[in-house]
Amino acid sequence: MTLYDELVARGLIAQVTDEAEIKDLINNGKATFYIGFDPTADSLHVGHFMALCLMKRLQMAGNKPIALIGGGTAMIGDPSGRTDMRQMMTPETIQHNCDCFKKQMSRFIDFSDGKALMVNNADWLLKLNYVELLREVGACFSVNNMLRAECYKQRMAKGLSFLEFNYMIMQSYDFYMLYQKYGCNMQFGGDDQWSNMLGGTELIRRKLGKDAYAMTITLLLNSEGKKMGKTQKGAVWLDPNKTSPFEFYQYWRNVSDADVMKCLKMLTFLPIEQILEMEHWEGSQLNTAKEILAHELTELVHGKEEADKAEAGAKALFAGGADAEIPTTTLTEADLQDGSIDILGLLVKSGLSASRSEARRSVEQGGVSVNGEKVTDVKTQYAGEDLQGEGITLKRGKKSFKKIVMA
């Protein structure tokens, strides 16, 4: 099976500009390709996972990845898939986020000996002369075509700023610059980036008379059509300080039965033949499949040792073990009132509930327990000394746990 055929079998390919050429390039290790990452936070998250795994697959087949960090475009903000305008960030924040990205990407991509590059588009975008850009690049874009682009339609309803309107031109200019500087002949991205990517291939054709190619990867959606990678607490991060390896493991261990095979195909490096055999699994076998998925992805992001610990912790916890490796929330005296804290406060402080009203509903519905004992009174108090030493194990619902201890 060729690399391209495997990408199709795994359900990764959404749209391509020229299938025959793209097949030839990636199957024969002739592609120098890029994927852009806007540094809007100090950690990559599960939404970036697909792109990172694709870069790893292509590099393993001899192709050369370029990770383009959007230090310049992040100062504008991508309007794709948004109904509001992104918050503006300072150059210092953007640089800090870029540094964090490189560290995390190195777990997926081999940057040694020029096998891959990490480039920041601030290097050229922040030096652009506005009038020159209008004359040299602006003339290549039709406003009529731009307004038909899917990425702008949602924003048009509430008002699209001129700042954001320029995002497509900036992204297209990136491809144009990467083609000239590094011989980059392909761009990959999420399916919501298609219009921006076509802008780049067209700019290269018009300015340089050369062919460049684009391929979009399927967005990671669950069986309900919602983007995966979100929990009640927000995004699932790759940074262990933001989402612990145990929480990361648990996220994948708890995917629905309908989603587990898709995730195994799209995200893991298990042989596709092995996954196709697993498609016949049902009942308790699906739980085994989820454990395989969770371990594979946790090992990929955090290493085998952390994946083994997370798996052992999950099994110990569900078996009622006291030494489970579960995330811990440490409280201080400042979190207590008159030396104690109520159950609602514990749920909020631990992040298991977003608000006291949400916590109250969970308790009233019988979904909260402490050390295995169900809590039904919303006024239940816990003294600081109760939280000393080993602390307590707080559980909300069937699958969300936190250990609470005092500093």
Q: With contact defined as beta carbons under 8 Å apart, do 46 and 259 qualify?
A: no
Report the distance separating Cα 322 and Cα 353, nearest Å. Answer: 23
Which tens digits make up the pLDDT trace of 203-215?
A: 999 999 999 999 9
Residue 76 makes CB contacts below 8 A (sequence gap 6+) with: 163, 164, 166, 167, 170
Instruction: Dump pLDDT digits (tens) for 92-141.
Output: 888 888 888 888 999 899 999 999 999 999 899 989 999 999 898 988 88
| Lowest mean pLDDT segment, chosen from 39-43, 226-230, 389-393 | 226-230
Predicted local distance difference test score (pLDDT) of residue 320: 58
- Single out the residue of 344, 337, 333, 334 nearest to residue 380, CA to CA: 344
Q: How far apart are CA 243 and CA 232, in angstroms?
A: 13
What share of the chain in percent tops pLDDT 70? 93
Average pLDDT over residues 141-147: 82
What's at 303, amino acid-wise?
G
CB 44 within 8 A of CB 238: yes
* Residue 335 confidence (pLDDT) above 80: yes
Average pLDDT value for residue range 266-271:
95
Give the span between the Cα atoms of 366 and 379, in whole angstroms: 14
| Edge-first strand listing for the sheet containing 328-331 | 328-331, 400-406, 392-396, 368-370, 373-374
Q: Is the pLDDT of residue 372 over 90?
A: no
Q: Is 383 helix (H, G, I), strand (E, B) or coil?
A: strand
pTM recorded for the entire structure: 0.77
pLDDT: is 120 or 327 the higher one? Answer: 120
- Sequence-separated (6 or more) residues with CB below 8 Å from residue 295: 249, 307, 308, 310, 311
Beta strands in 138-278 (DSSP E): 186-190, 213-217, 230-231, 234-235
d(C-alpha 335, C-alpha 406), whole Å: 10
Count of residues making up the chain: 407
Reported confidence tier of residue 384, pLDDT bands at 50, 70, 90:
confident
Q: What is the reported pLDDT for 311?
A: 92
Q: pLDDT (tens digit, 9 = 90+) per residue, 336-363?
A: 988 899 999 999 988 888 889 989 999 9
Mean pLDDT of the chain: 87
Q: DSSP labels for 342-353?
A: EHHHHHHHHTSS
DSSP string, 56-107: HHHHHTT-EEEEEE-TTGGGT---TT-SSPPPP--HHHHHHHHHHHHHHHTT
User: pLDDT tens, 155-165?
Assistant: 777 777 887 77
Helices of type H across 126-219:
130-136, 143-148, 150-156, 162-165, 167-182, 194-208
| pLDDT confidence of residue 6 | 96
* Mean pLDDT confidence for 236-259: 90
Region of 232 (left: φ > 0; alpha: ψ -120 to 50; beta: rest) is alpha
Q: Which pLDDT value is given to residue 83?
A: 43
What CA–CA distance (Å, rounded) separates 264 from 10? 9
Mean pLDDT value across residues 190-219: 92
Residue 15 pLDDT grade (very low, low, confident, very high; cuts 50, 70, 90):
very high
Question: Would the pLDDT of 200 be above 60?
Answer: yes
Rounded to the nearest 5 degrees, what angle is found at the Cα of 255, between the Cα atoms of 250 and 261? 125
Candidates 58, 53, 60, 56; CA nearest to 22 is 58
* 3-state SS, residue 100: helix
Task: Quickly state the pLDDT bin for 84 (edges 50, 70, 90).
Answer: very low
- How far is the C-alpha of 358 from the C-alpha of 353, rounded, in Å? 6
Indicate whether 376 pLDDT > 70: yes
All structural domains of the chain, each given as residue ranges with its CATH number in brackets, are 3-217 (3.40.50.620), 230-318 (1.10.240.10), 328-406 (3.10.290.10)
Amino acid of residue 267: L
276 CB contacts (<8 Å, ≥6 apart)?
none
pLDDT at residue 236 tops 50: yes
CA 13-3-196 angle, to 5 degrees, is 35
Q: Please provide the DSSP assignment of 267-330 as one string.
A: H--S-HHHHHHHTT--THHHHHHHHHHHHHHHHHHH-HHHHHHHHHHHHHHHTT-SS----EEE
- Asked whether 90 and 96 are in contact (CB, 8 A), the reply is no
Task: Identify the three-state secondary structure at position 380.
Answer: coil
